[in-house]
Amino acid sequence: MDKSTKITSQNITIGIIGMGRIGNVHYKNLMRIPNVTVKYICDLVATEEWTTKYKAADHIVTDYHDVLADSEVEAVLICVPTDLHPQITMEAAEAGKDIFCEKPVGLDDHDILKALDTVKRCGVKFEVGFNRRFDKNFRRIVDHRINGDIGDEQILKITSRDPEPPSLDYINHSGGIFMDMTIHDFDMARYITDAEVDQVYVTGNVLVDPKIGSAGDIDTAIINLSFNNGMMGVIDNSRQAVYGYDQRIELFGSKGMAHADNVVDSTTTYSGEKDVSGDKPMFFFLQRYIDAYRDEIESFLDAVRGNHEIECTFEDGIKAIRLAQAAKKSLETGQPATVADI
């Protein structure tokens, strides 16, 4: 057995910090991935009953410091509210743990940059949880670009619409639509094109729920992007698409176009005298991206083993935040925002 094979088969011991919706998704996926031990489940509201719910975990704790203090834990998954990401990241890095952190990496610039410096100083690996990079359909678009099938990139279109708006409490703590929802699209704009965005221009409104406007946010947006290679892009967002979770991307260029459509439960259509019908897009994002969530964790574990570099870096996370900040500035001023000025 050669060295690379040994690295590939190395068992990784991890702890999951934060057991909300995404933390549970990662736990379930880890149960299907070989050569990984979930030693800790950590959440502020964890109880003794959780030992039955999370049978594979050796320990259920309420204090993440217990996870970080264990020398056997090699890596941690940070799935807590966004405002806690930088602090836990810094402490995990100081403890020598490799880190997978859900997006975004933080809300406060000072805290984010301090966390980045700590990660670099400690020499640990850090991956941001932008799961859409691992969707097989979107990756096929990237393959076409890399293979030269698109030619010179000219237009990018991203449609990203949720089936229903989140709770007002969530909106109040998520940083708003650009930091919570569109940030995925900003990351995909960079990933799909392998180009950087120079300028962002936004028009937005409250068209779904007036309560979202009362909370200081918008629920509908058109975001125009100008890239450093001359191409143009547009992202359209809505907090409510009544027909399901609408996720489509199109990359157009001088040689051709690649398009990824919505994922449906079945590709079967019925054609009759009065109409032609088929399945709606999947309603829930966890259904739509179930394989992508597993693949991103497998990729992170392989990076921890040393098989390849981290696929979505801390710097990628910061660049997506800069685009979100530029979008907010554009919305507030009614003018295009230059990313370099953010």
Q: Are residues 138 and 281 in the same domain?
A: yes
- Of 48, 13, 103, the closest CA to residue 285 belongs to 103
CATH code for the domain of 113:
3.40.50.720
Residue 82 lies in a domain: yes
Q: Are residues 265 and 140 in the same domain?
A: yes
State pLDDT tens for residues 25-67: 999 999 999 999 999 999 999 999 999 999 999 999 999 999 9
CA distance 66 to 174: 27
State pLDDT tens for residues 277-286: 988 888 877 7
- Does residue 6 carry a pLDDT above 50? no
The answer to whether residues 161 and 205 touch, using CB atoms and an 8 Å cutoff, is no
| Burial environment of residue 163 by CB neighbours within 10 A (0 to 12, 13 to 18, 19 or more) | buried
Mean pLDDT of 219-224: 98
How many CA atoms lie within 13 Å of 342's alpha carbon, on the beta-carbon side? Answer: 22
Cα separation of the two ends of the chain: 50
| Residues above pLDDT 90, as percent of the chain | 88
DSSP 65: H
Instruction: Supply the pTM of this predicted model.
Output: 0.93
Instruction: Give pLDDT, residue 282.
Output: 81
Instruction: Give pLDDT, residue 8.
Output: 59
Task: Among 96, 124, 152, identify where a domain stops.
Answer: 124
- Does residue 3 carry a pLDDT above 60? no
Q: Are residues 198 and 62 in the same domain?
A: no
Q: Are residues 278 and 174 in the same domain?
A: yes
Q: Are residues 162 and 201 in the same domain?
A: yes
- Of 311, 322, 329, the closest CA to residue 129 belongs to 311
- Does residue 202 carry a pLDDT above 50? yes
How many CA atoms lie within 13 Å of 5's alpha carbon, on the beta-carbon side? Answer: 2
Q: Are residues 173 and 251 in the same domain?
A: yes
- Does residue 1 carry a pLDDT above 60? no
The answer to whether residues 100 and 295 touch, using CB atoms and an 8 Å cutoff, is no
Mean pLDDT of 173-187: 95
Q: Are residues 116 and 142 in the same domain?
A: no
Q: Are residues 199 and 323 in the same domain?
A: yes
Q: How many domains does the chain have?
A: 2
Instruction: Give pLDDT, residue 270.
Output: 85
The bridge status of strand 232-238 relative to strand 153-161 is parallel
| Token reading at 92 | 């995990």
Residue 259 belongs to domain spanning: 133-288+314-341
Region of poorest pLDDT, from 6-10, 201-205, 335-339: 6-10
CA angle 263–291–173, rounded 5-degree value:
90
State pLDDT tens for residues 252-291: 999 999 999 998 888 888 889 999 898 888 887 778 899 9
Q: Which residue has the tokens 């698409």?
A: 241
State pLDDT tens for residues 97-156: 999 999 999 999 999 999 999 999 999 999 999 999 999 999 999 999 999 999 999 999
- Of 207, 158, 211, the closest CA to residue 181 belongs to 158
| Average pLDDT value for the chain | 95
State pLDDT tens for residues 71-91: 999 999 999 999 999 999 999
Residue 303 lies in a domain: no
- Does residue 2 carry a pLDDT above 50? no
Q: Are residues 31 and 179 in the same domain?
A: no
CA distance 311 to 136: 15
Instruction: Give pLDDT, residue 9.
Output: 73
